[in-house]
Every structure is written in C-alpha cells, then in structure tokens.
Amino acid sequence: MADLRRADGPGRSGRPTLAVVGATGAVGTVMLQILSQRADVWGEIRLIASPRSAGRKLAVRGEETEVVALTEEAFDGVDVAMFDVPDEVAERWAPLAASKGAVVVDNSGTFRMDPEVPLVVPEVNPHAVRMRPRGIIANPSCTTLSMIVALGALHAEFGLRELVVSSYQAVSGAGRAGVATLRQQLSLVAGTELGTSPGDVRRAVGDGTGPFPEPVALNVVPWAGSPREDGWSSEELKVRDESRKILGLPALPVAVTCVRVPVITTHSLTVHARFEGEVTVDKAREILATAPGVVLFDNPAAGEFPTPADVVGTDPTWVGRVRRALDDPTALELFVCGDNLRKGSALNTAQIAELVAAELS
C-alpha cells in the first residue's frame, strides 16, 4: 500500500523539505548541480554527510549551505530524503529516516530487490512510486539506468521476450577511486610504447590497479562487481534482476557481460532485444525518437552514433546503431549510452523525489 504517513505535510514554505544524504560524495556533487538546474519544488534543502564532513559549505540553488552530520536528529522535519551512501550506511539509516516520516529515495543496492520497496524509473514505471509500505523507494544501478528508458519504450510497444546485453562501463562507476586509478595509470603509460607484448601495461602500472582486477588504461577488463555463483558478477546479476523488476517481467531471460573500459564517465551498452512479434526498424526509430528521456542519434553513414564523448554531462539516454537482427525478424540491435552520474544515479533519484514532492504538495 502507499505510504502517506507524514500527516503534518510540507514545512512552512508550503513546499517539502528535502535532505541530501551523502552530499559530499561523487554522485552527491552531481546531485547538487542537478537540484540547481531543475524546477525548484523544494523548501529547505538540508545537506547531510559523515561527521568528518560536517561544517563544510556547499553551493546549492546559488546559496552556500552548511553540511550537517548524519544523526537521527538530522531528519527532524524532513519530508523526502535522498540517500547516496554505501550499502551499509543505507541499511542502517534509511529505515530510521523513514521511521521519522521521511520518504526515502535510496541510491544504494541495499533495497532494490526488496519486494516491499519499489524500484522506479519515472519514464517507465512512475505509478510504482506510491507503493512503498516501508517508506523507501529504490533507485536502480547506473548500468541498468543507462539502457532501461529506451528498452521500456520499446517494451511498451513490442513486448520484450529476451535480452542480451554487453556493457562498457566507465571507471566513475567505481567511485572516486576508479577515476583516480585511471588517471594515475594514464600518467604512468603516457608516452611509452606499450601494447606490443603481454603484461607490459601491468608492469608499467605495478600494483596501482585500484578497485579493478587488471589495469584499465589501454585495456578493457571483462569484470565489474564482485563474484557470484557460476562465474557471474554482482553487476551482471543486478542488470538482470533490476530489468525484470522495473519492466514487470519476472521470468525475462537476460544474459549480461559487464566490461570496464578506460572512460571517465558514461556507460555504453550493446543490446540485443527479442520481442513478441516481428519488429521494424522504422517503427523502433519512431518510438525512440519520441520517447521521453531518449535521444535517437543514428546515422552511421554520416558518422553519427552515440559515444561517451558525445553523451557525458547530458541527461537523456542516447541510442544509435538501430538495426534488425540478421537472422531474427523479432529482434533489434542497439547501441546505448548514458551518463552514469546523471541519469544513471543523481538525476533518476531527483526525478523520483520530484514525483513524491508532487504527491505531498
């Protein structure tokens, strides 16, 4: 059932009070930019972070706002709390914030597969936002979000039957440590003649592989996440499980291979999608060209298709290389790019929070 427990409503301004938990992190920084760029639906915006960050001042909506420490009292009077914190922090503090009457929008992986927590993409399943018996709404992972808006539009028209995906994931998906590692590795290999013999890149970077199992500079690493059964990674299983939940297809066959590439920000994916009946490229292009949150950028003959260099810093999902499968008239092939820090994390969280704000106002 819907959670409408906050009986006192928004604060004195007539607009809801928002808390940003994890405001000083990589995604939190992008979140503050997004809040300053979008329509202002909030009253007070309270910035919350770990005690070591308390007292810092950050700009939001053109004003300097002081960061307060993450405590129970920090959620007093909060209507909506957006969490961008590690799983263990969300597990402890998100239910506490909800118990104090805030609607929590959580960007960690803690609650995504909880049957009592909706997993929401506003362009695909906005209705799910009201069904939150725990007072928590989950934000999907950045890899899923990089493709699901486009897939949702195609599914609504054609009916998705099977999905095969390969991801090419930017290092910022591993946080600040991932970005720092790539930059350090690039400085170590710059100007050297590498890539001509096995192991030369690894020897150049030494032990500086950071959060990755292999060097990512001048390389691609077919692994993201942590080990799971039968050789799958946690990141691959996220894409499968989250896609099924968002689209309402619990038995959807999904195969995923996640690959880390030497790109700072913006995930890319190749998508092979099979549908219930025969599809045409013209109809698929028409759907994608008019779908909210999607940009169709698809003219290979003119060198036009999305790449991370085109997409970084933008909000939509970009789609190109749209074609029908060679041997299957029911399947489409796509190449998709999405900024993993914007729509892939902060923007989708903000969009969910805005749906809740509209409900509370």
Q: Are residues 265 and 291 in the same domain?
A: yes
E strand intervals along the chain: 18-21, 45-49, 57-60, 63-66, 68-69, 80-83, 103-106, 136-138, 160-169, 254-260, 267-275, 294-296, 317-324, 331-338
**Binding site for phosphate: what residues are annotated?**
112
The model's pLDDT over 79-122, given as tens digits with 9 standing for 90+, comes to 999 999 999 999 999 999 999 999 999 999 999 999 999 999 99
Q: Are residues 184 and 328 in the same domain?
A: yes
Question: Of these residues, 127, 142, 155, 337, which one is catalytic?
Answer: 142
Can you give the pLDDT at residue 193?
79
Can you give the pLDDT at residue 13?
60
Name the CA dihedral angle for 298, 240, 159, 326, rounded to a multiple of 10 degrees. Answer: 50
Q: Are residues 220 and 320 in the same domain?
A: yes
Can you give the pLDDT at residue 10?
52
For the chain, the average pLDDT equals 93
Question: Of these residues, 258, 267, 272, 337, which one is catalytic?
Answer: 267
Q: Is residue 350 part of a domain?
A: no
Q: Is residue 53 part of a domain?
A: yes
108: left (phi over 0), alpha (psi -120 to 50) or beta: beta
Q: Is residue 5 part of a domain?
A: no
Spatial distance between the Cα atoms of 52 and 165, rounded to a whole number of angstroms: 40
N-terminal to C-terminal alpha carbon distance within the chain: 19
Can you give the pLDDT at residue 12?
41
| CATH classification of the domain holding 218 | 3.30.360.10
Q: Taken in order 335, 215, 240, 138, is the CA torsion positive or negative?
A: negative
Can you give the pLDDT at residue 208?
87
168: tokens are 């090419």
Q: Are residues 150 and 111 in the same domain?
A: no
Residue that the structure tokens 């995930």 belong to: 267
The total of structural domains in the chain comes to 2
Q: 42 is in which domain, residue-wise?
A: 18-140
Q: Please state, as a whole number, how many other Cβ atoms lie within 10 Å of the Cβ of residue 340.
A: 29
Q: Are residues 289 and 155 in the same domain?
A: yes
Q: Which of 13, 7, 18, 135 is nearest to 78 (CA)?
A: 18
Q: Are residues 248 and 180 in the same domain?
A: yes
Q: Is 267 a catalytic residue?
A: yes
Query: Is the pTM above the cut of 0.85?
Result: yes
Q: Are residues 210 and 276 in the same domain?
A: yes
Residue numbers in the chain where pLDDT is lower than 70: 1-13
Q: Is residue 31 part of a domain?
A: yes
Spatial distance between the Cα atoms of 128 and 168, rounded to a whole number of angstroms: 29
Q: Are residues 114 and 172 in the same domain?
A: no
**Binding site: what residues are annotated?**
24-27, 52-53, 112, 169, 172-173, 260, 340
Residue that the structure tokens 């291979």 belong to: 257
Q: Are residues 78 and 155 in the same domain?
A: no
Q: Is 127 a catalytic residue?
A: no
Q: Are residues 69 and 159 in the same domain?
A: no
201: tokens are 């890149």
**Binding site for NADP(+): what residues are annotated?**
24-27, 52-53, 172-173, 340
Q: Are residues 252 and 302 in the same domain?
A: yes
| CATH classification of the domain holding 95 | 3.40.50.720
Q: Are residues 179 and 282 in the same domain?
A: yes
